């Protein structure tokens, strides 16, 4: 029995796997997708993806580096271990999606990790990106958005990425001694990108930065540095907040429950899964469910999946490079054996060529989710080159017409006929992988 339909696999996952065979083209069962969220484990289990492990490894790396400066051994095994872990994480961004049977769950992990973006930049934050996805995002994709927002706020990856760990309250003990001040980066992005998007002003940003001052971490994990914390009350969005951990938590929950946040979250989900210009009634209904269920996300997904637009047979979204890469690899039946060894498929380098290097979103708003950002002649040429490379490498033993029926459905007669006319098998596979149908979801 098939595990789903083509609409479920393409619009709400990463496309059919070779082993799925030809899926029914029409129909959508929300329950079949939502069951994937009951235990959304990482598809490829890895050791070393906890914050505790990374903090210890970073402390060891710093200690060994300091010892080397004092004349000690130059070898730094902790540095090498960190580099190996980060290389795994880069590859797993692709391979987790390639091998997973739960495409909807993995799409949601990547959606939320992109909305609450952290990215590579100089400094210790690079060592926290993997744990961030696995501890601040994945456990919350079926929970409350308020809880995910709070987990994100306190994670060292976010504290470093948006410079919150360096923010000092001007009236704090440290601020008065060293004349250091606020950094408003995180406060601004928290309101603009992570939550409300509108309905606040610069005064709210500055006051929020004062409330957040002192947020940081040490070898024991996240916490509030009282030497950097700004004293006195802050008035944010018309509400008064006192200093302290409990008040930061109250602020995050207050903002998460705002109607502006509900609308922003609903709009982003609908744009990601349905269309660049999603139906207004869908967005409104999702926002209402969000508010009615205290930021719980499952009711929001239920509204999304039960809307007529979710089952529309026309795929309106352009796959981003990582999504396109994964879809082509899945239909070819590639597995983890292709991720290792001298002849491994270098997905990290190919992502760079396709224009979406792993964990290097150019701005705090993450990778764009509309077609215009990805429609360019160089981008299309890179995709066609990728399709040709895969065709040459894996296509000689494939049946191009059969692959086309699996990837796009038995109704995709024009593409099936086109690949069948290719003189060589690899050419037929390349035609399929570079076809317009493979570009969309």
Query: Does the pLDDT of residue 123 top 80, yes or no?
Result: no
Report pLDDT digits (tens) over 89-110. 999 999 999 999 999 999 999 9
Report pLDDT digits (tens) over 382-410. 999 999 999 999 999 999 999 999 999 99
Does 411 reside within a domain?
yes
176 and 248 inside one domain? yes
Question: What's the confidence (pLDDT) of residue 180?
Answer: 75
426 and 348 inside one domain? yes
Query: Does the pLDDT of residue 2 top 60, yes or no?
Result: no
Q: Which of 124, 423, 418 is nearest to 432 (CA)?
A: 418
Does 55 reside within a domain?
no
The answer to which of 52-61, 204-213, 228-237 has the lowest mean pLDDT is 52-61
Query: Does the pLDDT of residue 220 top 60, yes or no?
Result: yes
320 and 399 inside one domain? yes
Are the beta carbons of 441 and 57 closer than 8 angstroms? Answer: no
Does 218 reside within a domain?
yes
Are the beta carbons of 127 and 58 closer than 8 angstroms? Answer: yes
Question: What's the confidence (pLDDT) of residue 14?
Answer: 98
Does 168 reside within a domain?
yes
Query: Does the pLDDT of residue 1 top 70, yes or no?
Result: no
Does 65 reside within a domain?
no
Report pLDDT digits (tens) over 297-338. 999 999 999 999 999 999 999 999 999 999 999 999 999 999
321 and 211 inside one domain? no
Mean pLDDT across the chain: 95
pLDDT band, very low/low/confident/very high, at 362 (cuts 50, 70, 90)? very high
Scanning the structure block, which residue is given the tokens 């909807």? 104
pLDDT band, very low/low/confident/very high, at 219 (cuts 50, 70, 90)? confident
Q: Which of 131, 145, 123 is nearest to 222 (CA)?
A: 131
Query: Does the pLDDT of residue 49 top 50, yes or no?
Result: yes
Report pLDDT digits (tens) over 244-283. 999 999 999 999 999 999 999 999 999 999 999 999 999 9
Are the beta carbons of 409 and 22 closer than 8 angstroms? Answer: yes
Query: Does the pLDDT of residue 213 top 80, yes or no?
Result: yes
321 and 434 inside one domain? yes
Distance between CA atoms of residues 213 and 215, nearest Å? 6
Domain boundary among 235, 256, 277: 256
Are the beta carbons of 269 and 124 closer than 8 angstroms? Answer: no
Question: What's the confidence (pLDDT) of residue 40?
Answer: 95
The answer to which of 8-12, 199-203, 394-398 has the lowest mean pLDDT is 394-398
247 and 320 inside one domain? no
Express as a percent the part of the chain with pLDDT over 90. Answer: 92
Burial class (CB in 10 A: 0-12, 13-18, 19+), 178: exposed
Average pLDDT over residues 14-21: 96
Domain count, the chain: 2
Distance between CA atoms of residues 236 and 228, nearest Å? 20
Which pTM value belongs to this model? 0.96
Does 213 reside within a domain?
yes
Does 346 reside within a domain?
yes
Average pLDDT over residues 411-426: 94
Domain boundary among 256, 273, 306: 256
Range of the domain at 390: 316-439
Task: HSE, CB side, 13 Å, CA atoms: give it for residue 325.
Answer: 28
Domain boundary among 256, 272, 301: 256
Does 333 reside within a domain?
yes
């Amino acid at each position: 029995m098939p595990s789903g339909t083509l609409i479920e696999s393409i619009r709400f996952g990463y496309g059919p796997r070779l082993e799925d065979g030809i899926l029914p083209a029409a129909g959508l069962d929300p329950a079949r997708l939502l069951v994937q969220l009951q235990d959304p484990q990482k598809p490829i289990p890895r050791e070393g993806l906890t914050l505790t492990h990374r903090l210890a490894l970073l402390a060891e790396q710093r200690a060994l580096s300091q010892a080397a400066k004092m004349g000690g051994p130059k070898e730094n095994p902790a540095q090498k271990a960190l580099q190996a872990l980060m290389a795994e994480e880069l590859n797993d961004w692709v391979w987790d999606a390639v091998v997973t049977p739960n495409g909807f769950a993995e799409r949601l992990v990547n959606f939320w990790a992109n909305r609450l973006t952290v990215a590579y930049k100089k400094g210790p934050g690079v060592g926290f990106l993997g744990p961030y996805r696995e501890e601040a995002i994945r456990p919350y994709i079926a929970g409350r958005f308020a809880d995910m927002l709070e987990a994100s706020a306190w994670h060292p990856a976010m504290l470093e990425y948006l410079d919150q760990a360096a923010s000092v309250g001007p009236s704090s003990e440290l601020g008065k001694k060293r004349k250091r001040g606020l950094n408003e980066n995180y406060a601004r992005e928290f309101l603009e990108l992570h939550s409300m998007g509108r309905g606040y002003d610069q005064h709210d940003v500055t006051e929020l930065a004062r409330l957040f001052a002192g947020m940081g971490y040490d070898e024991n994990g996240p916490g509030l540095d009282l030497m950097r914390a700004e004293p006195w009350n802050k008035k944010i969005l018309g509400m008064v907040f006192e200093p302290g951990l409990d008040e930061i938590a109250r602020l995050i929950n207050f903002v998460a429950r705002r109607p502006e946040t509900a609308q922003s979250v609903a709009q982003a989900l609908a744009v990601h899964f349905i269309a660049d210009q999603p139906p207004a009634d869908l967005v409104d209904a999702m926002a209402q469910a969000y508010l009615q269920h205290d930021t719980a996300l499952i009711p929001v997904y239920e509204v999304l999946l039960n809307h007529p637009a979710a089952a529309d047979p026309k795929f309106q979204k352009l796959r981003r490079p990582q999504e396109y890469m994964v879809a082509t690899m899945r239909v070819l039946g590639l597995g983890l054996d292709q991720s290792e060894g001298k002849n491994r498929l270098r997905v990290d380098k190919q992502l760079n060529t396709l224009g979406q290097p792993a964990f290097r979103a150019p701005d705090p708003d993450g990778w764009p989710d509309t077609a215009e950002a990805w429609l360019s002649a160089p981008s299309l040429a890179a995709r066609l080159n990728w399709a040709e490379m895969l065709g040459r490498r894996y296509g000689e033993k494939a049946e191009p017409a059969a692959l086309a029926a699996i990837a796009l459905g038995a109704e995709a007669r024009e593409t099936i006929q086109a690949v069948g006319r290719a003189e060589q098998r690899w050419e037929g596979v390349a035609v399929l992988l570079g076809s317009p149908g493979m570009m969309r979801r």
